[in-house]
Structure 1
């Protein structure tokens, strides 16, 4: 796999039984790249290992005053230098390719799993951990895949060095061959402790990331209650714990690195002392001593790859374990595959809201944020653990059991978060108060999956998009006046807020879901247009379940039933006019009536009754 072939057409089915198995599966899928990297690595390290032999022959040629031998040795050194440069360049190229392609494979797997899980992901995995898996953990997994081929090439080159020295100079070669395994495995007893300290550091870093995410998400609420310093203090303490854990981990890895420097140095001293004695006794030549010395000195470079692979594996295994845990999550059980689209009443067990099938239900909330959260929940996104702090509506629900607090909305008695994602999206569509319009032509914008029952022109007419079409026709690039061919800029920035809302509403009407949830769909529209939109939506959605979260009397008046949600629970149900007459809390939200205005109105009403009762 090459970088220009990314992304993968099919990233495969990972082995998620454990982090180690996931790494093995990933390496198996990178086999071609690993073999290429191993081949270039062997060229690099083998040429590096042969360089001392060429240098030793050159020194011996000088001692023997042989010009031809010196010339051949110089040519060999030059050839080995070219091989070292070529091998190093291609090794780096192929190793980095392995890193990038492995990281891309993991990211594709995570992205597909996230899309398949939907809101279920954040219910089962904390938001901070999801961020850590998709960023830092992916890099650590890629690091191990990259380092693996370099390590194998370095290990094979050390074996070749030991065998070559035993054949070339047995008296010194056996010393090197006996000491090399000690050098390679000396840090092994320290790895478990280093791994534990690295794991502790990552756990604390993940908690700090999660805490930062929660703080940023709730910053508006924290400012409202003056709690910024409290949460900043918590994050400050968590970051200090991360720093302390990082220092403890770094000390252990510094000790391992020191061992990788000290032991080869001691071995080099032993070889020089012993070899000098052998040379003085005439048992080896000066050239042989130089060759063995150079070979032992150069082994420090491949030995460093033993430290690198130990670090890469220690850091990547927990990362792979976390990635495997996310990839192992499933939205539904296999037995639920093939489940039919449920029909019936939409019911939210958290608030007690019921939206009967085939009716237009309007919902009034005193808190706009609570309305937004309710809209998300009606779309099958129950509040996760990181969404529990917030407005008054949520605080009022703290007395309820945790299971009920995060219970899924049910359609026809079936939990939405238990349905396959595509089935859940077919059943319920949520249009939030700030809908996003993707860049492209109007025709492309309205080319969405739909039932086919609502033509585009009917949806545009129901959303009262006539003036929008006229404006787009004037901006038509070919001058033909076709508004459907006019491009809409990113997020619909070329349109006004009301125009964006109406086009988004038309898109939702074209989709024609079984249940349509609209959160303040006409908040940026003038009252005359809003009244016409309300009537058109009611007529077009006849026989379909529609839920509108709004506080506009023009929308509420056309609804079949109106539900007042107060402090997180359904407080009253009725028609708009009946609730306006009989429910003070509803009247306060819809008419924006203050307490002083209420007192003045009641006083005026009382005076009027007294005047009517007095005789003329």
Structure 2
């Protein structure tokens, strides 16, 4: 694709190519419909000439019968064309919707960078729908062009001046309509971007409504949304005004063109160059032209909006990936998991990324290690590298002596689970949220274990059993989207239970107890230690209760490894550790 070729054009071309059968079927049937519509005035003129002027009753009945057959044919053609067009439009919208969602959820990531969740939702819904509408617009455009062509041919047979007028005037009119669609396309793109931005901000405000009220900045947040919403409204009104002006000007141009056609036809009839029936047909054809020409106005508007939406979809689909996928030929498979080896060793070797500088530490299989950082940015950078949401600038993270960059992403994230501090819950029951990532039983003793007992153990380890007892329907209690029906502490415990239920060989937990009280935190720390026995666990936290149950702790200060040892030892011997953990 050349630099001058808009990115959305590739999306439109592929959509048309994939729906070519339905588009072609709809276009052919639409052409049949428009041809029949154009022939109706001709058949009426013939009926008038033979039945009224010549007094031929059988001839009149014959042409009326043909007219009825044409009406039946064009009716069925219209229905078939509309059905094929709708099928193509809906199929295209669905395919693009799944592609956008698939790209957003792709393990490589990157599509969400710089975009709010609400904005991505708008791209996957409204923009996909508008690109789908282009399929119907193409069918209507081809059918309308056919109607104009048939009309021109008929008028050429009736009168050469009339035919030439239509053949010359129609392309000129269409060119003017195309020019008028350019401002609409630009304003439509701005409108869609502003609307998506407003949707994204609204979604974020709703998600953090409780927090915003708690810190007393609700009015400020509402003011911000009001400003962004007003900008979206202004852009929408501008696009609507552009479309209204385009429709108005197209209507004026179309009316003027038809008036000229009717005037020329009337003068020819007055001069005796055409008969009464031909005059009736000419005037009726001039009126018929209103339909195809007005359709072109709609088609141009749909194409303008479709091109803008296709560009936004292309921006998501072609977004640079945060990490590169591993070629199949270069992938290394992890060893099969067994009951004798439930955990895997993890090593950070000379890691440099963001604020991290040549960070190095190792975690043995089955070991529980705490990671304390004096700067939250160090923790965020480490978590991105451990979850392979970003590749380091230098060094590597190794799982079972294999660099993460050599592992297939799905396999990697099944073996090494990074549970973020701000994990979201999903709509469903509490039990469904907890067991969402739970693995199927494997061979051996684990296969004979009671799944219900495992869930109970997870709930107890995360102190979620206390939450269950306070809910009206226990584990069957419905949880709303993103867990907003629960308090912050309840959401955090359910998210921790889900991470523990996944039973990953290596689990990285980031500050899993910040929203619970001290007593519950001590209980959770002991529960994590017990339920993760034999499995590798990394606790990225500054919580003394959690660090107290680790085998050892590493301190990251200034992006580098500053100290390593038992929690109690570091508290007594390392001032920077004491400040980070106890202050």
Of 230, 237, 246, the residue aligned with 1:240 is 230
Q: 1:378·1:409 contact (CA, 8 Å) conserved in 2? A: no
Match of 2:369 in 1: 361
Residues 539 and 209 of structure 1, relative CA distance in 2, 3 Å threshold: closer
Query: Shift in Å at residue 363 of structure 1?
Result: 5.5
Of 142, 147, 155, the residue aligned with 1:165 is 155
Match of 2:463 in 1: none
| Cα distance in 2 for residues equivalent to 1:457 and 1:499 | 27
Matched, 1:558 2:549: yes
Q: 2:354·2:381 contact (CA, 8 Å) conserved in 1? A: no
In the superposition, the TM-score normalised over structure 2's length comes to 0.73
Within a 5 Å distance, the mapping from 1:168-567 to structure 2 comes to 168-329=158-319, 330-333=321-324, 338-340=330-332, 344-346=346-348, 356-358=362-364, 359-362=367-370, 377=384, 380=387, 411-412=397-398, 421-431=409-419, 448=439, 455-456=446-447, 465=456, 504=498, 507-509=501-503, 512-517=504-509, 520=512, 533-537=527-531, 539-541=533-535, 544-547=536-539, 551=543, 553=545, 556-562=547-553
Of 44, 47, 52, the residue aligned with 1:58 is 47
In the superposition, the TM-score normalised over structure 1's length comes to 0.70
| Cα distance in 2 for residues equivalent to 1:427 and 1:468 | 22
Query: Shift in Å at residue 462 of structure 1?
Result: 9.8
Point out the more displaced range, 55-64 or 85-94.
Answer: 55-64
Q: 2:326·2:407 contact (CA, 8 Å) conserved in 1? A: no
| Cα distance in 1 for residues equivalent to 2:448 and 2:495 | 17
| Cα distance in 2 for residues equivalent to 1:202 and 1:208 | 10
Query: Shift in Å at residue 312 of structure 1?
Result: 1.9
| Cα distance in 2 for residues equivalent to 1:423 and 1:89 | 50
Point out the more displaced range, 338-347 or 150-159.
Answer: 338-347
Point out the more displaced range, 181-190 or 544-553.
Answer: 544-553
Q: 2:8·2:311 contact (CA, 8 Å) conserved in 1? A: yes
Residues 174 and 80 of structure 1, relative CA distance in 2, 3 Å threshold: same
Residues 75 and 238 of structure 1, relative CA distance in 2, 3 Å threshold: same
Question: Any idea what SS the aligned residue of 1:121 has?
Answer: coil
Question: Any idea what SS the aligned residue of 2:113 has?
Answer: helix
Residues 453 and 93 of structure 1, relative CA distance in 2, 3 Å threshold: same
Match of 2:340 in 1: none
Query: Shift in Å at residue 31 of structure 1?
Result: 0.9
Query: Shift in Å at residue 562 of structure 1?
Result: 4.2
Residues 314 and 374 of structure 1, relative CA distance in 2, 3 Å threshold: same
Matched, 1:86 2:88: no
Q: 1:375·1:517 contact (CA, 8 Å) conserved in 2? A: no
Matched, 1:137 2:127: yes
| Cα distance in 2 for residues equivalent to 1:126 and 1:415 | 32
Residues 59 and 460 of structure 1, relative CA distance in 2, 3 Å threshold: closer
Point out the more displaced range, 36-45 or 248-257.
Answer: 248-257
Residues 566 and 211 of structure 1, relative CA distance in 2, 3 Å threshold: farther
| Cα distance in 2 for residues equivalent to 1:434 and 1:202 | 28
Query: Shift in Å at residue 99 of structure 1?
Result: 0.4
Residues 306 and 502 of structure 1, relative CA distance in 2, 3 Å threshold: closer
Q: 1:17·1:324 contact (CA, 8 Å) conserved in 2? A: no
| Cα distance in 2 for residues equivalent to 1:207 and 1:445 | 31
Within a 5 Å distance, the mapping from 1:20-31 to structure 2 comes to 20-31=9-20
Q: 1:446·1:507 contact (CA, 8 Å) conserved in 2? A: yes
| Cα distance in 1 for residues equivalent to 2:386 and 2:42 | 72
Residues 294 and 500 of structure 1, relative CA distance in 2, 3 Å threshold: same
| Cα distance in 2 for residues equivalent to 1:425 and 1:251 | 50
- In structure 1, the gaps of 5 or more residues are 1-15, 384-402, 470-486, 594-616
Q: 1:428·1:517 contact (CA, 8 Å) conserved in 2? A: no
Residues 409 and 526 of structure 1, relative CA distance in 2, 3 Å threshold: farther
- In structure 2, the gaps of 5 or more residues are 335-344, 461-474, 484-489
Question: Any idea what SS the aligned residue of 2:549 has?
Answer: coil
Q: Deviations over 1:6-46 (max 9, x none)?
A: xxxxxxxxxx9822122112111111111110121012111
Query: Shift in Å at residue 104 of structure 1?
Result: 1.4
Question: Any idea what SS the aligned residue of 1:345 has?
Answer: strand
Query: Shift in Å at residue 441 of structure 1?
Result: 10
| Cα distance in 1 for residues equivalent to 2:196 and 2:529 | 51
> How many matched pairs?
531
| Cα distance in 2 for residues equivalent to 1:573 and 1:502 | 26
| Cα distance in 1 for residues equivalent to 2:116 and 2:436 | 34
Point out the more displaced range, 194-203 or 28-37.
Answer: 194-203
Residues 451 and 126 of structure 1, relative CA distance in 2, 3 Å threshold: farther
| Cα distance in 2 for residues equivalent to 1:498 and 1:332 | 28
Question: Any idea what SS the aligned residue of 1:356 has?
Answer: strand
| Cα distance in 2 for residues equivalent to 1:535 and 1:153 | 71
Point out the more displaced range, 339-348 or 156-165.
Answer: 339-348
| C-alpha RMSD over aligned residues | 4.9
